[in-house]
Amino acid sequence: MRRFELVLCIILCLAATDAGAQKLTVVGDRFLVDGTPRFLTFVTYFGGMGAPNINQDLRLIRSLGFDGIRLWPNLDTGPQLMNGDGSLRSDELKRFLQILDQAKLERLIVDVSFTYEHIRGMTPSTARIGIENVTQAVRSYDNLLFDIQNERNVNDRRFMSGTDVSRIYTAVKAIDPARITFADNAPVDTPEYAAQFTATYGLDVTAYHEPRPGNWYTLPVTEAIVSALRVVGKPVYLQEPMSTRDDLFGYPSQDRAEYFLQAIAHAKLTGAAGWCFHTEVGVDFRTGAPFFEDRLRAYPEPEWAFVSSLSPRLVLRANNGVHYLVAEGGGGSGVRADRTAAGPGSWDTFNAISLSGGPLLSGDRVALATNDGKHYLQAVNGGGGALRALSTTIGAAETFIIEKTGGGIIRHGDTISLRVADASWFVSAENGGGGNVSANAAARGAWETFTLLFTTPHITP
Amino acid sequence: MPPSTPSAPPTAALTITFDENPVAFKSTGCSFATPGGWYAQARVQETAGVAVTVTSLTQRLDGAANSNLAESFNSRFGACAGGTFTAGTIPAGGAVCGLVGVCTTASHGTYQFSITGTDANAHAVTVDSPVLRLSPR
C-alpha cells in the first residue's frame, strides 16, 4: 500500500513539475510571477479542504482569470491539517498536497492562511510546530505564500502576539528562507499600525483587512489605506476586503459587482500588489452545491457578475465611429476595421489578457485573443507593418501597451490606443476605419485611437 | 477526322444557400452593439472547379445597398466547418461560409448580398444570393 502511495505521489509530483509551475517571489513592493511583476487577484476558497471537486473548482478559478486562491487548511468546516500539538494529520496532509498539486497544474498561487483558533488545544507555541511541519512538507512548492495567523490582532481566540508571529516567521525562514511569509491584521487597528507591524517584525508582505464603511470601494478610501500600508516598501495585499455576504453582519455596499469592480481597480491603481475577492460561497462545502461554479452562479450579483469580469471581452470601434476591428474568420488570418454594428456575428470581439494582472489600467501590457480562442493579434515583425491574427502564442509581437490620455482605469467607452510593446509603433485603422489595420504608425493620431467597449461586466463610467 | 477545336475554359459557378429562409427575428446574439436582428448562415459553393478571387461584397436591405452594411468579403466570410479559408478567395470546388443578415432595431423585409470577382480563367463573375426573407418581428 505504501509503495502504491509513493508511486502515486511521484506521478502527481512529476505531472505538476511538467506543467511548469510558476514561481512567486517578491521584489520591493511587487509580487513577481516567474520573474515578471504582476498584480495578483485571489478568491477566497477557505473551505477547500472540504471541497468535493477540487480539480474542477481550481480549473474554473483559473479560467475565470484569478491568479490564486486563499485557503484555510485548519478551518473547521472540513478536514483539518493540524492536531493540537502541531503534528500534521496524514490523510489531511495528502488532501492539502492534492490541492497544492492541482493549483500548481492550473498555475494558481495559494495563499495558505493559518487559523490556529480552529484547532482544539492549539496554542501559539504548537501553532509554530504545526507551521514548521507544513513548511517542511511544502518546500518544493514555489507557488505559495504563508499567512501565519488570520487577523492576529483581534482580541479573541485569533489573537497572536507580535513576538509569537516573529518566532514563527523565524522558524519558517530557518527551514525555507524563500517562503513568502507574513501575518495579517484586521481593521481593529489602523493601516498605519499594520504597516508598522510588518516593519517591526521584518515580514515579507503587508496584509491588511480593510474597514467596511459604505464607501469602502471608493478611490479616496482605498488610496488612504494603500498609501499608509505602502510606506514600509513591502507588497500591499488587500487580503480580505468587503465580504459579498455575511451571516453575522449587515454590511453596506456589497450587493452588486460594481462595488467590487471599483475596489479592485482602485487597489491596483493606488499601488497595491494583490487583492482578494472575498466571497463566502467557498467556506463550507458540507452543504449546498458541490461545485464552486454552481455556488458562484447561484448569486448573479455580486458573485457571478464579478467573476465574469476578470477576463474581459471587448470590441474596438475605429475612429470613424462606424466600423469595428475584426479578426477575419474569427482569427487565424488578417485583421481589418470594417465590421459594422449592423453586421451579425462576434469576430469583432476580443478577449483582453492583462499581462500585468488585475483590471486594465492605462500603461498595462495586454494581449488580445481572437474570438476563435486560438489566436492573438500580432504586429508582424514586431511592428512597422501589418497587424494580423495568426499567432497562437504570446510574445513580444503579440504584446501591446494599452494607453489612454490622462492615464488611469480603462473604462467602458474610453478612447484608447494600442502600442506595440518594446517598440514605438501604434496600431492604426487606415482612414480611421473601413479598411486595413496596421501596426505601423509612428505617432498617435486619430486613426490610432479606438473606442473600447467591454462586453463583460465593467465599471460604470 | 476534323481537327478538334479547343474547348473554352470553364467559368466558375457559385451557388449560395442559407440555413434558414425565411429567417426569424432574434432578440439576442446578433452583435455586441445591436443584440437583436435577423441572421442566418450563408454558404457560397463553387461547383465548376474554378477558383474565384473576390473583389467586392455588396449587402442590400429591402433591395437597396445599405451603407450600414458596408463590409469586406474577408471580414464577413471565412471557412466552413472543417474547412480552410484563403483571404479573398472562393476555392475551386470549395466553399466559404459566413453569418449574414442585419442587426437592427428597425424593421426590414428582405436581405440579399452580391459577390463580384474574377475567376481563375479571367472571367468576370457576379452572383446574387437568394433573397433572404426577414420574418415580421
Q: Categorize the per-residue pLDDT at A270 as very low, low, confident or very high, splitting at 50, 70 and 90.
A: very high
Query: pLDDT value at position A249?
Result: 75
For residue B46, being part of any structural domain is answered with yes
Does A374 contact B at CB distance below 8 Å?
Answer: no
- Is residue B83 in a domain? yes
Residue whose C-alpha cell is 457578475: A305
State residue A9's pLDDT score: 43
Residue A314 Cα distances to A39, A227, A369, A382, B33, angstroms: 21, 32, 10, 23, 11
The answer to whether A281 and A296 are in contact (CB under 8 A) is yes
The pLDDT score that the predictor gives to residue A12 is: 44
Average pLDDT, chain A: 94
Determine the 3-state secondary structure of B18 from DSSP: strand
Beta-carbon separation of A344 and B37 below 8 A: yes
Torsion from C-alpha of A408, A411, A416, A420, nearest 10 degrees: 70
Answer yes or no: is pLDDT of A11 > 90: no
> Is B75 in contact with A336 (Cβ distance < 8 A)?
yes
Residue A1 is predicted with a pLDDT of 39
Rg over alpha carbons for chain B, rounded to the nearest Å, is 17
DSSP secondary structure letters along A50-69: G-S-HHHHHHHHHHHT--EE
Nearest CB to A343 within list B69, B74, B85: B69
Q: Is residue A447 scored above 60 in pLDDT?
A: yes
Tell whether A343 lies on the interface with B, counting CB pairs under 8 A.
yes
CA A405 to chain CA centroid, nearest Å: 26
Specify burial of residue B11 (Cβ count, 10 A radius: 0-12, 13-18, 19+). Answer: middle
For residue A15, the model assigns a pLDDT of 43
Which of A159 and A2 is assigned the larger pLDDT?
A: A159
Test the A interface: residue of B19, B32, B57, B89 with most A CBs within 10 Å: B32
Weakly modelled stretches of chain B, pLDDT under 70: 1-3
Residues A73-87 pLDDT 10s: 999 999 999 999 999
pLDDT for residue A135 is more than 70: yes
Domain membership of residue B19 (yes or no) is yes
**Which pLDDT tens digit goes with each residue over A211-262?**
999 999 999 999 999 999 999 999 999 999 999 987 777 788 889 999 999 9
Q: Is residue B126 part of a domain?
A: yes
Tell me which residue in A315, A334, A338 faces B32 most closely, judged by beta carbons. A315
pLDDT of residue A6: 44
Cα A315 to chain centroid distance, Å, stands at 23
| DSSP secondary structure string for all residues of A324-376 | EEEEGGGSSSBEEEEEETTS-SSTT-EEEEETT-SS-BTT-EEEEE-TTSS-E
Average pLDDT on A195-224 reads 97
Containing structural domain, residue B86: 14-133
Of B74, B78, B103, the CB nearest to A344: B103
Q: Supply the CATH number for residue B51's domain.
A: 2.60.40
| Contact assessment for residue A108 and residue A54, using Cβ atoms and an 8 Å cutoff | no
Percent of chain A with pLDDT over 90: 92
The distance of A341 to chain B (nearest Cα, Å) reads: 5
- Residue B5 domain-assigned (yes or no): no
In a domain, B1, yes or no: no
Is the pLDDT assigned to residue A142 strictly greater than 50? yes
Which whole number is the average pLDDT over A76-103? 98
Q: Which three cell numbers stand for residue B16?
A: 449560395
What pLDDT does B1 receive? 62
Residue type at position A269: L
A contacts of B81 (beta carbons < 8 Å): none
Residue A10 has pLDDT above 70, yes or no: no
Answer yes or no: do B99 and A330 touch at CB < 8 A. Answer: no
Measure CA A188 to chain center. 26
Residues of B with CB under 8 A from a CB of A: 30-34, 37, 39, 66, 68-72, 74-76, 78-79, 85, 87, 98-104
* CA-to-CA dists, residue A429 to A318, A444, B87, B90, B114, angstroms: 7, 11, 19, 26, 26
Q: Is the pLDDT of residue A422 over 90?
A: no
- What chain A holds in terms of domains, given with CATH numbers, is 23-307 (3.20.20.80), 313-454 (2.80.10.50)
Within a domain: B7: no
Q: Across the interface, do B75 and A347 touch by the CB < 8 Å criterion?
A: yes
- Yes or no, beta carbons of A344 and B99 under 8 Å apart: yes
Least confident of A109-118, A315-324, B75-84: B75-84
Axis-axis angle for helices A257-269, A219-230 (nearest 10)? 40
Contact A181, A173 (CB under 8 A): yes
Q: What's the whole-number mean pLDDT along residues A372-399? A: 96
Q: Give chain B's domain count.
A: 1
% of residues, chain A, pLDDT over 70: 95
* CB-CB under 8 Å, B99 with A345: yes
The answer to whether residue B128 sits within a structural domain is yes
- Identify the CA nearest to A208 among candidates A179, A223, A229: A229
Mean pLDDT for A420-443 is 95
SS3 content of chain A, % helix, strand, coil (to 5): 30, 25, 45
- Cβ–Cβ below 8 Å for A344 and B75: no
276-335 of A, contacting B, C-beta below 8 A: 315, 324, 326, 328-330, 333-334
